[in-house]
Chains A and B, each alone.
Chain A
């Protein structure tokens, strides 16, 4: 069957959107199918995100807008999958597009229908905490901004049809069935939260002041039901004492909840507690938890900050009961402390950290797509490739395959895209269409001829200010050739009108006074470009969102303000010029630094797609960190996997491997790097060019100085124990093995969790028990962090008799060596001081960064490291494998401690991100960027400091000597340099000093 160069992505949360964008940017046609009426998923519901406390909406909405208007993405909302046939490379999917009863082509998103709707429905987005109209969008910034009628609530009164001036309401609109032909499918339906059933232990549903974490998230949100004030539902008071209960519906073996760990609740709870206290200082959060599973990058630091700076109190306990105090509606919590005392405390509000369930329609999706689910109804995935489902050509990303947080979801989304690249590369670019545009009219030097279009937006603008008056005013401004008003300036017929007007009146600048440029500027820019004008000869005045809507009762003043805004826009328009976007060639070759699993997976992916790849390894042989690992906790054979990879690498003609190699120099920038490598025992020198770089240099195992390691041969590392178990039968004559966790992790020197030591310890404990059922295995731990489905093995280990004993950071175990006997002394809360005799002490040593190597490479690539000397990505949430420096990516342990599966995902993700560059012959540079007037520049170099993107350097110019130079490929146009320049030599195209001065003058 012939392969198809198109992909279907099912589910348009942050994962689905990322996968769609990566593929669309790499030359594939993408069908993005969403079951609800807008994209963004759960992330759009969040207030802030950990560990940076970034505003979720601020960081997600630009991505959603990009998804919504990408010309290679065909977005369909309110859809249902009907039928799927075919195989990898060629699938046909029947999709039912359910009617919105509103014509999306005509709907302008103005929202009058919702305001006039007499029916109050339940606001699902705000988790039922507020009311809504039956005609609605999910949230104000929704993409696409198309309203929908919820037939479950609509009473059919017909009012909205009357008030909709865009004539978009169509009650007789029918469902539509379409057939879509694609080469691959990515499933990203996300998760559904656990909802405590009726009669639950926590009183959820019975007591008003018991809410779930996602409800609390909406309570925290500035755009939520209480406008960001933390109030409790029973009486609207600020709750001072708030209890957060962990593991609600997770790690639950009673059958009422789920047995696995939901992975994200420990962190989101810490975040919610921190944000609650930050919003209102009188709030004192208390968190009841079993283990604190802060296993991700910089997570432990966040927990420490929560405790130290935000007065968050942690209690290690699972509560035994909650009752409501009838008079106050407060909640009385009964729990047992670690030393066995039973305590009763009253709280004003209780937040349940509910777990992540598989999506409610998981079974349905599995059946339709023919993929298998695991024992918990999540998508079953390959043991080494967590995005590969049981069916070739169908991939899964995000929480559909296991509970996970945003960065892991985004990484997997890109990883799935990376795997699709591998499958469909030969069909890249076959199904996308490029628009043919007329040549641009040359306008430089011509006197401005400005056309102003003013929008009524139905009654949204026209109902609150005098549009004809503003139009008349605009028509008398200097250089304005024509001012006109339209019922909807954004409607399709107005676009034709604008184009005709440009031609008829020979306009060379266009101003639109309507809504916000953030959503509508690209549309109008496209229109004027179609009429032959450069797309930058455009300016907008925001007279709706920032005028008519916020001054609804001040007709005269709002009209005055609108006139001013139009005048300011016209003033700027008079000064704008056409901007040409530069294009640069891309060298379609790749460099991968580091030949461990991440590096090798990335190299193979690139080579499969036909990209020549240079793979550099410092050691004599490939394999990296994983050479010391025999199996994964889940049973994957690591040694076999590595030899297989090495064999494939060595037999691939497109991959050039350099071992014993060091980089002498890396020069250049995105698309155009040049690198010199010294390699081999003879120190040969090789130079080559490439378009992208992946940093996969790995990390190393901590070498302990504590617990008599190196002094007593009975004290060994976990990796040495693993070797002993897998290559000898020495375990058979051992009576007792003690393991100590967090050796060289979570302390002052290394204040982070090494993520895999808990799993390694449990894996080896189980193997030891299997080989010698009589051996006693004791694990001394601080928190057991078997997140996700790894929880199963923790339970299995306990069932098989492995003993787990908790110790505190400030009271570590004490080791006493008496002749041939090792004694381990430990203070415990429950049993007091205990002493264990052991004939083997195994230290779970953490993972630490290769500091010197990383510092050197970071300097060469101009990328940052974090405090722990791991590489620091561009954005911890949404750009987990990118660097701020474009064209450079990171994968594997170089980024932070992680499992083999996660490293593989990251490697494929880095490849997908790189393919968005490599798939093009040339890259087009953003137009609104900085430029330097060399005649004015004194070469002081201050701008270099100001630039967060390393886009500026000093060069020696033939005429001007030492001057600053802006690399237009790296510049993002923020303008920090221009605002500081001492000699006014820097300006930002599209936001020049002249243009801004003209606007300021226009204000007066």
Chain B
């Protein structure tokens, strides 16, 4: 039997859900793989929702909203863009970024709705089943996804993403303009760091460990692991457990 991907769609009530309805009224035929969750605005789609779906083994997630400028809530779809961009950047670590998509469908684009859904389903078919679907999920990827979910939900990431539109669009608390390039460097670094830190956290959750062994297990340079462990210590998430020979062992708090 050919691969039939499981797709989940988040559609905003005002444009894309209406576009999906119009596809129905116009009897546009498209494959059956997608199940839709209606939200009032694409800005409501918390990255957690997407990670949760992927963790369950869903093969692809499609978020749809009103075309930029058309948002029923003035600018909710811009909020959706910043959140989605971060989500996708995180998913690059496990090569899942192509399994999620953000697109705009208006209330009069019934045909287009059918087209973009079909295209996305075919695209996921080409990618093949999610490595964490089915009875025998790839534990390494699943672990990484869990770390991503925690990292993306961390206060730091949410603060950066939540403020992005204001900081780049208008000005900061000093009345200064933040240069987009500078902000992007900051956010890229934060994404990488928080991903690795949460991997460290998850690894320590299973068992206390040394920096060197963690570095081997996670395939990250030991000096960087050390930096992460120290940061996590100041955050009150890990601490020294004991010193074995010359090697300190860290534990999850």
Give min CB distance, B136 to chain A, whole Å.
16
8 Å CB contact of A57 from B30, B74, B107, B114: B107
Evaluate contact between B110 and A988: CB separation under 8 angstroms: no
Evaluate contact between A976 and B109: CB separation under 8 angstroms: no
Evaluate contact between A549 and B25: CB separation under 8 angstroms: yes
Evaluate contact between A545 and B108: CB separation under 8 angstroms: no
A47 to B106: give the CA distance in the assembly, Å. Answer: 11
8 Å CB contact of B26 from A56, A140, A554, A974: A140
A439 to B110: give the CA distance in the assembly, Å. Answer: 42
Give min CB distance, B53 to chain A, whole Å.
5
Evaluate contact between A940 and B159: CB separation under 8 angstroms: yes
A209-255 at interface with B (beta carbon < 8 Å): 221-223, 227-228
Evaluate contact between B27 and A552: CB separation under 8 angstroms: yes
**Chain B residues whose CB sits within 8 angstroms of the CB of A47 once the complex forms:** 108
Residue B58 lies at the interface, judged by CB distance under 8 Å to chain A? yes
8 Å CB contact of A979 from B44, B66, B163: B44
Give min CB distance, A648 to chain B, whole Å.
38
Give min CB distance, A49 to chain B, whole Å.
10
Give min CB distance, B220 to chain A, whole Å.
26
Evaluate contact between A228 and B49: CB separation under 8 angstroms: no
Residue of B with least CB distance to A940:
B159
Asked, given contacts A561-B35, A942-B162, A974-B76, whether A979 binds B43 with beta carbons under 8 Å apart, the answer is yes
Evaluate contact between A1004 and B56: CB separation under 8 angstroms: yes
**Chain A residues whose CB sits within 8 angstroms of the CB of B111 once the complex forms:** 222, 227-228
Evaluate contact between B29 and A993: CB separation under 8 angstroms: no
Residue of A with least CB distance to B44:
A975
Give min CB distance, A304 to chain B, whole Å.
18
8 Å CB contact of B79 from A55, A56, A141, A976: A976
Asked, given contacts A979-B83, A980-B158, A982-B155, whether A553 binds B29 with beta carbons under 8 Å apart, the answer is yes
**Chain A residues whose CB sits within 8 angstroms of the CB of B14 once the complex forms:** 58, 62
Residue B100 lies at the interface, judged by CB distance under 8 Å to chain A? no
Residue A150 lies at the interface, judged by CB distance under 8 Å to chain B? no
For B112-153 the 0/1 string (1 means CB < 8 A from A) is: 101000000000000000000000000000000000000000
Residue A435 lies at the interface, judged by CB distance under 8 Å to chain B? no
Evaluate contact between A975 and B43: CB separation under 8 angstroms: yes
**Chain B residues whose CB sits within 8 angstroms of the CB of A227 once the complex forms:** 111
Residue B218 lies at the interface, judged by CB distance under 8 Å to chain A? no
Residue B37 lies at the interface, judged by CB distance under 8 Å to chain A? yes
23 contacts between A and B (CB under 8 A): A53-B69, A54-B69, A55-B70, A57-B106, A140-B26, A516-B21, A518-B18, A545-B21, A546-B23, A974-B40, A974-B72, A975-B39, A975-B76, A976-B44, A980-B83, A981-B162, A982-B155, A982-B159, A991-B39, A993-B46, A1000-B52, A1001-B56, A1003-B35
Residue B177 lies at the interface, judged by CB distance under 8 Å to chain A? no
Asked, given contacts A55-B67, A546-B20, A554-B32, whether A975 binds B40 with beta carbons under 8 Å apart, the answer is yes
B94-109 at interface with A (beta carbon < 8 Å): 106-109
**Chain B residues whose CB sits within 8 angstroms of the CB of A54 once the complex forms:** 69-70
Q: Which of B17, B25, B58 has the most CB of A within 10 A?
A: B25
**Chain A residues whose CB sits within 8 angstroms of the CB of B52 once the complex forms:** 997, 1000-1001
Evaluate contact between A948 and B106: CB separation under 8 angstroms: no
A518 to B163: give the CA distance in the assembly, Å. Answer: 32
Residue B192 lies at the interface, judged by CB distance under 8 Å to chain A? no
Give min CB distance, B116 to chain A, whole Å.
12
Q: How many pairs, one residue from A and one from B, have CB atoms within 8 Å of each other in the complex?
A: 209
Residue A983 lies at the interface, judged by CB distance under 8 Å to chain B? yes
Evaluate contact between A973 and B40: CB separation under 8 angstroms: yes
Chain B: how many interface residues by the 8 Å CB criterion?
67
Give min CB distance, A45 to chain B, whole Å.
11
Residue A52 lies at the interface, judged by CB distance under 8 Å to chain B? yes
**Chain B residues whose CB sits within 8 angstroms of the CB of A561 once the complex forms:** 32, 35
Evaluate contact between A1004 and B37: CB separation under 8 angstroms: no
Residue A426 lies at the interface, judged by CB distance under 8 Å to chain B? no
For B49-61 the 0/1 string (1 means CB < 8 A from A) is: 1001100111000
A641 to B106: give the CA distance in the assembly, Å. Answer: 47
Residue A61 lies at the interface, judged by CB distance under 8 Å to chain B? yes
8 Å CB contact of B155 from A52, A221, A554, A983: A983
Residue of B with least CB distance to A111:
B25
Give the interface size bracket for A toward B: 35 or more
8 Å CB contact of B21 from A546, A982, A993: A546
Residue B200 lies at the interface, judged by CB distance under 8 Å to chain A? no
Residue A601 lies at the interface, judged by CB distance under 8 Å to chain B? no
Give min CB distance, A650 to chain B, whole Å.
41
Evaluate contact between A222 and B109: CB separation under 8 angstroms: yes
Evaluate contact between A58 and B162: CB separation under 8 angstroms: no
**Chain A residues whose CB sits within 8 angstroms of the CB of B91 once the complex forms:** none
Evaluate contact between B76 and A546: CB separation under 8 angstroms: no
Q: Which of B24, B36, B49 has the most CB of A within 10 A?
A: B24
Evaluate contact between A996 and B49: CB separation under 8 angstroms: yes
8 Å CB contact of A550 from B23, B76, B106: B23
8 Å CB contact of A518 from B8, B17, B162: B17
Give min CB distance, A992 to chain B, whole Å.
11
A929-982 at interface with B (beta carbon < 8 Å): 940, 942-943, 945-946, 948-949, 972-976, 978-982
A13-66 at interface with B (beta carbon < 8 Å): 47, 52-59, 61-62
Asked, given contacts A568-B37, A976-B44, A979-B44, whether A946 binds B110 with beta carbons under 8 Å apart, the answer is no
Residue B161 lies at the interface, judged by CB distance under 8 Å to chain A? yes
**Chain A residues whose CB sits within 8 angstroms of the CB of B238 once the complex forms:** none
A552 to B27: give the CA distance in the assembly, Å. Answer: 8
Residue B15 lies at the interface, judged by CB distance under 8 Å to chain A? yes
8 Å CB contact of A222 from B73, B75, B110: B110
Residue A517 lies at the interface, judged by CB distance under 8 Å to chain B? yes
Asked, given contacts A222-B108, A978-B44, A1004-B6, whether A550 binds B24 with beta carbons under 8 Å apart, the answer is yes
Residue B189 lies at the interface, judged by CB distance under 8 Å to chain A? no
**Chain A residues whose CB sits within 8 angstroms of the CB of B242 once the complex forms:** none
Give min CB distance, A283 to chain B, whole Å.
18
A63 to B190: give the CA distance in the assembly, Å. Answer: 44
Residue of A with least CB distance to B114:
A550
Give min CB distance, A465 to chain B, whole Å.
10
Evaluate contact between A549 and B27: CB separation under 8 angstroms: yes
Give min CB distance, B169 to chain A, whole Å.
10
Residue of B with least CB distance to A140:
B25
8 Å CB contact of A565 from B18, B22, B24, B35: B35
For B61-97 the 0/1 string (1 means CB < 8 A from A) is: 0000011011011111001100100000000000000
Residue B211 lies at the interface, judged by CB distance under 8 Å to chain A? no
Residue B45 lies at the interface, judged by CB distance under 8 Å to chain A? yes
Residue of B with least CB distance to A227:
B111
**Chain A residues whose CB sits within 8 angstroms of the CB of B112 once the complex forms:** 222, 228
Evaluate contact between A58 and B29: CB separation under 8 angstroms: no
Evaluate contact between B6 and A228: CB separation under 8 angstroms: no
**Chain A residues whose CB sits within 8 angstroms of the CB of B17 once the complex forms:** 516, 518
Q: Which of A58, A949, A982, A983 has the most CB of B within 10 A?
A: A58
Evaluate contact between A991 and B32: CB separation under 8 angstroms: no
A544-578 at interface with B (beta carbon < 8 Å): 544-547, 549-554, 557-558, 560-561, 564-565, 568
8 Å CB contact of A997 from B8, B31, B49: B49
A429 to B29: give the CA distance in the assembly, Å. Answer: 49
**Chain A residues whose CB sits within 8 angstroms of the CB of B49 once the complex forms:** 993, 996-997, 1000
Asked, given contacts A55-B107, A58-B66, whether A948 binds B76 with beta carbons under 8 Å apart, the answer is yes
Evaluate contact between A560 and B106: CB separation under 8 angstroms: no
Q: Which of A61, A554, A974 has the most CB of B within 10 A?
A: A974
Residue of A with least CB distance to B16:
A58
Asked, given contacts A975-B39, A1003-B35, whether A550 binds B29 with beta carbons under 8 Å apart, the answer is yes
A542 to B36: give the CA distance in the assembly, Å. Answer: 9
Give min CB distance, A151 to chain B, whole Å.
25
Asked, given contacts A974-B43, A974-B73, A975-B41, whether A223 binds B22 with beta carbons under 8 Å apart, the answer is yes
